[in-house]
A and B are shown apart, each in its own frame.
Chain A
């Protein structure tokens, strides 16, 4: 936008990309320095742009109204451009909402993707607002309901209903507001009913104009003179706010929602630079400025609860940053709240691409938050699809940043959204833990595994049979059994099942041990297997320990087991010798082992945690798992 009387050098943009660049830049300039003249110019230029412009999503907005909304459109247009939307407006005739509800095509082509319903209360109620009939609130709500129902039925569009703003002429009459039955009271009742009635419906959203006006200040938002002159109630300086409010909601409705917020650490999650200032002097806590950063963390935590993934992309020492996050008493977010992180000295663009891959989401569903203008600019140019939000360097501006942060609003949070986010999160966390944990025991401990080992669980017979059929890798004998076979084995011996739960999910039954013969001086382990979903945690030892403890308690002198090699079960070859079993016989087909259920533990791998005389359960050292055992041998 040249803004001067000279012709633009080079004239119109020649390509779709140039158009996109021009419109975006002009809209960004307007956001920084509002001007009704420049908004009008941009609106005019935009009309000459080709239908589809690179990087901008086309959106047709149908406006149904009973006031002069035309002067608001330039600011709405600019605000929508800032959300990546190039809008086209079709404005209906004054007051005839029902006509378009009955026949939406009358609004013109193309059919709107989104409708904005604006009701100017002064025109809607007319003189009745001076002495309102008692049923007026109900009749307004019924009218809006019917209009919305018609549009929902006749179109596939999202319907945005602006609720009723205060009266532009008498907005300041506080005493009237408190008078039951007065128009201000009834207006509030209408607004409450609209919110209640539409918040569950699909494709309908409320533009809370009442609140937007209140936040800006009714005294400044209205221009009563303009209302009387031209039926346009709002002051010119309020128009950018109105535009942004509508653009916010239109973007939420029209643009696939962002899923992940990627944040910097220094001067974003906390104030100051951890590596330079040290943990004692970094600002996070309940005093200013630490409180401001805490507020931001609370905001992020709230996004997490609403289904957003959180991730860190920070130039820092990884161990220092993570331990500060984990240990600082004032931190709201902990390492576990972040689905993934890249804390290193590498390029943040490369980090961001890796994070997207690790979390299995697109770059276009990410919001990048960083206080460095350089990093922001770099990401913006490298990945235009990423929504970049520059975090304020002045902590006093953090509340404003939080309120205005783009991409974080959703019309409504569906239960399914939360579930999906939780499962994405669980997968990514598990992967990260496995990759990043320095020692395997700490990793296992961090999973907070709970095991339930059951004897003779008849309800599990189908699952046990299934595991014998499917388990190939960790399977000592690879004997396949039908449910009927399992029933028979239960009658003649003991079938153990082990189910596992960790802090991310419930896996169900993952391990099976079958003891074929419990009569006499020795027990014979017929089958022993672990589902591949449960590898790498060492829980198989717990199952074996239960068998040995039971054998010991039953008075068995020896427990025998064998390993039958197959093409796939090489990984279970070392299991028995690793748990104190002695090789007794070896051929190509089978390796036979034996152990005394009471022999002393040969090492840390031993399933014998207990003292034989004391019986099972008296552990040595802290337990890696919480194990409960159920059922009897019979």
Chain B
């Protein structure tokens, strides 16, 4: 299960954050990745919600700031 979620999220992160193929996604965080700005963050939230068919609370959406955090958030909702 974790594997599936992680893979799907990896795909979403690469699509939305325009991550280069050679860059590792699983260690990404908002602070470390230049492309992860507030608009990208909004797109990320929308894409993740659409893919997994759930809605985050505004608090959750604001608090998540890394790939690992997103995996945890999604797993917690499944």
Chain A residues in the interface with B (C-beta under 8 A): 3-8, 35-38, 40-41, 44, 68, 70-71, 74, 225-226, 228-230, 232, 236-237
Contacts and interface: CB of A to CB of B under 8 A. Distances in A.
Interface residues of B, number: 23
A3 B49 CA distance: 18
Given A5-B11, A6-B21, A40 B55 contact: no
B46 A36 contact: yes
B76 to A, nearest CB: 18
A236 B62 CA distance: 18
B64 interface: no
A36 B50 contact: yes
A66 to B, nearest CB: 16
Nearest to B59: A229
19 contacts: A4-B11, A5-B7, A5-B10, A8-B21, A35-B47, A36-B47, A37-B12, A40-B43, A40-B47, A41-B15, A68-B42, A70-B43, A71-B39, A71-B43, A236-B46, A236-B47, A236-B49, A236-B50, A237-B50
B71 interface: no
Contacts of B43: 36, 40, 70-71, 74
Task: Tell me which of A4, A36, A225 has the highest count of chain B C-beta atoms within 10 A of its own C-beta.
Answer: A36
Task: Tell me which of B12, B25, B46, B50 has the highest count of chain A C-beta atoms within 10 A of its own C-beta.
Answer: B46
Contacts, number: 64
Task: Please list the 10 inter-chain residue pairs (A to B) with the smallest Cβ-Cβ separation, ordered nearest first.
Answer: A41-B15, A7-B21, A37-B47, A37-B15, A236-B46, A36-B47, A37-B12, A40-B16, A44-B18, A70-B39
A71 B46 contact: yes
B47 A3 contact: no
Nearest to A38: B15
Contacts of B18: 41, 44
A375 B18 CA distance: 38
Label chain B's interface by main secondary structure.
helix
Nearest to A7: B21
Given A4-B11, A5-B21, A41-B16, A229 B61 contact: yes
Interface in B36-78: 39, 42-43, 46-47, 49-51, 55, 58, 61-62
B38 to A, nearest CB: 8
Interface string B17-35: 0100110010000000000
Contact of B15 (A3, A70, A71): A3
B52 to A, nearest CB: 11
